[in-house]
Chains A and B, each alone.
Chain A
């Protein structure tokens, strides 16, 4: 079990460029989450998929952020027209299911996005 895999580990973009972050959840996990981590705000929920379907994207900045999960094995977070305030560590997490004892979140190592 390789755990949750996130690529790239580091990404540097210029202001106004697009950034795409990738996440491969643990095989067999049906729930996938994206979080953003900054020193000031801590860990912030962005969005959640269950069985590939988008369930809640209430944490996503509406205009420039989007997330997709085209198949069971990967999810992407896309940020258009990146701004310096988007600089953060973006964490992907997956869980086996939801409810009961199956709700432990397993996080990837994160992608550190730096917008210059």
Chain B
């Protein structure tokens, strides 16, 4: 058990819809990262938050947004969903904001019908 909790485990929805994925980091970790894993693109970094502030942005679409709350949990919002958004979305956390090992959650499997 990594200590990182992601909910829900599975999500099935339709194109055009909006969903929210939730992540609770390990106790004591201030940084949260979101990654998307799809069969054709591999693991892609989306966005990082550190202690409530956005720290780095990767290949995150404008339809996607995220935030980290004062209790350090994070949410990833995906809107106007398309078939290509079907993927496994991982959250990871680390103690600091750089050069630290990241601990991954079990992921949320998103299926768009």
- A and B from one assembly? no
Where the two chains meet, the residues of B that have a C-beta atom closer than 8 Å to any C-beta of A are none
